[in-house]
Amino acid sequence: MAKKLLLCWIGLLLPMFYAGAAQSAYELNLQQPETPIAQQIYDLHTLILWVCVVIFCGVFGVMFYAIFKHRKSLGHEASQFHENTTVEIIWTIIPFFILVAIAYPATKTVLAMKNTSNPDISIKVTGYQWKWKYDYLQDGISFYSTLSTPEDQIYGRAPRDEHYLLEVDNPLVVPIDKRIRVLITADDVIHSWWVPAFGVKQDAIVGFIRDAWFEVEKPGIYRGQCAELCGKNHGFMPIVVVAKEQKDYETWLAEQKQAQAATTVNINKTFTLDELKAQGEKVFNTTCAVCHQVNGKGIPGTFPALDGSKIVNGPKADHLNIVMNGKPGTAMVAFSKQLSDLELASVITYERNAWGNKTGDVIQPSQIKALRK
């Protein structure tokens, strides 16, 4: 009896959870819920956990009692009973009813999660290898969101900062207290958009659009990760959502619209080699270096080197073609979809003039635009 009780306490201590505790190294439970759905999920999990703990203590209390008392070394003689239909029926029916009791609140939450009607804002989320793109459909702005942790930190050449692997250059920004519907798809392979604090996880399937919704209750920064294996940098494409008060959100939105308008205006300008190289280096390091490496030497056998490459040093048309249209059947995708005219022009210019490559060639954004037809 004492042993049964002891086991029960151990069983209770083990799943100790710290509701609402600050980020600690020994997080034992789901993250602090920040949306009504996440709260429902948290509560459902607590309910099931307690049910399991109670049943676990009951069953293994009995088993360990038998182990301690019904042993040959204590001289205990074996009974020979070996069946009882009544007992079998009872321990089939009772668990069944326990499951029904759990299924009822779970059903309500499933239906609430699936109900994406009447959103206040709709945002399209596209998964790429290995970054996210956010399109604010009603406002006409869009941007890519890429991991911003420097490679030096990953390879131990620099100390890791506080949000190592969970920080991006352009986070998703949303207002609080509004029903946000996210329309999720992917461009290349299956990804999954997941923010634990919101209780939202939706697979991003190529060629299909799925949706989910959330409503954030308080301002803050919320972090998540891709949740479907999508290739080598699956672990390096986080999600950061910044929830702002309504008026701060509107300010941010206005700034974004202005900035996007500015870049579109510039497109027909003629850029210098240095301007393009500088811009191109940035694009290269965020978009191309994951495979071709910052030093342009690639990974032999897997990702070709660009430094000294025949394509990069050869006719511009071939180089433009492979960057814009990709190479089917390989991991080299068609970057004409992901990158703007300016970005494409600058990165190709950079590649043709970086490391050991000295073609002196310049590609203008207007040339890219002409090729897109």
Partner 1 sequence: MDAAQATHAHGDHAHHPSGIMRWVMTTNHKDIGTLYLTFSCIMFFIGGTMAMTIRAELFEPGLQFLRPDFFNQLTTLHGLIMIFGAIMPAFVGFANWQVPMMIGAPDMAFARMNNWSFWLLPFAASLLLISFFVPGGAAAGGWTLYPPLSVELGPGMDLTIFAIHLLGASSIMGAINIITTILNMRAPGMTLMKMPLFVWTWLITAYLLIAVMPVLAGAVTMLLTDRHFGTHFFNAAGGGDPVLFQHVFWFFGHPEVYIMILPGFGIVSQIIPTFSRKPLFGYTSMVYATASIAILSFCVWAHHMFTVGMPAAGQLFFMYSTMLIAVPTGVKVFNWVATMWRGSMTFETPMLFAIGFIFLFTLGGFTGLVLAITPVDIQLQDTYYVVAHFHYVLVAGALFSIFGGVYYWLPKWTGKMYDETLGKWHFWLSMIFFNVAFFVQHFLGLAGMPRRIPDYAPQFADFNMISSIGAFGFGLSQLVFVYLVIKCIRSGEKAPAKPWEGAHGLEWTLPSPPPYHSFETPPVVK
Distances (CA, A) of 318 to 192, 321, 337, 347: 34, 5, 18, 15
| Shorter beta-carbon distance to partner 1: residue 292 or 352 | 292
Phi, psi dihedrals of residue 339, rounded to the nearest 5°: -110, 150
Minimum separation from the CB atom of position 248 to partner 1 (A)? 26
| Alpha-carbon torsion, ordered 79, 84, 90, 96, to 10 deg | 100
Annotate 152-187 with three-state secondary structure.
Answer: HHHCCCCCCCCCCCCCECCCEEEECCCCEEEEEEEC
Lookup result for tokens 């074996």: 78
Task: Kindly report the number of other CB atoms within 10 A of residue 17's CB atom.
Answer: 14
Strand partners, 191: 204
d(CA 101, CA 47): 10
Residues 6+ apart with CB under 8 A from 148: 167, 168, 169
Rounded to a whole number of angstroms, the minimum distance from the CB of residue 123 to partner 1 is 16
Closer by beta carbon to partner 1, 301 or else 360: 301
CB-nearer residue toward partner 1: 58 or 314: 58
Tell me the three state secondary structure of residue 69.
Answer: helix
Contact 226, 201 (CB under 8 A): no
Nearer to partner 1, 161 or 318 (CB): 161
Are 189 and 209 in contact by the 8 Å Cβ rule? The answer is no
- We find the least distance from the C-beta atom of residue 71 to partner 1, in angstroms, to be 5
Shortest distance (Å) from residue 121 CB to partner 1: 20
Q: CA 67 from chain center: how many Å?
A: 47
**Least distance to partner 1 from the beta carbon of 106, Å?**
5
- Whole-number Å distance between alpha carbons of 231 and 287: 15
Nearest CA to 211 among 192, 184, 179, 191? 184
**Cis peptide preceding 9, ω within 30 of 0:** no
Gap between the Cα atoms of 144 and 121, Å rounded? 19
Residue 37 vs 320, nearer CB to partner 1: 37
CB of residue 77 to partner 1, shortest distance in Å: 6
Closer residue to partner 1 (CB): 153 or 285: 153
Whichever of 46 and 142 has its CB closer to partner 1, that residue is 46
Name the minimum Å distance from CB 172 to partner 1. 17
CA–CA dist 199, 113 (Å, integer): 9
Q: Give the containing element (helix H, strand E) for 93.
A: helix 85-114
Nearer to partner 1, 60 or 143 (CB): 60
| Residue 41 CB, nearest approach to partner 1 (Å) | 5
Provide, rounded to whole angstroms, the least separation between the CB of residue 170 and partner 1.
19
Nearer to partner 1, 174 or 182 (CB): 182
Q: What is the spatial distance between Cα 140 and Cα 257, in angstroms, rounded to a whole number?
A: 8
- Determine the 3-state secondary structure of 132 from DSSP: strand
**Nearest distance, CB of residue 339 and partner 1, angstroms:** 20
Q: Which is nearer to partner 1, 2 or 81 (CB)?
A: 81
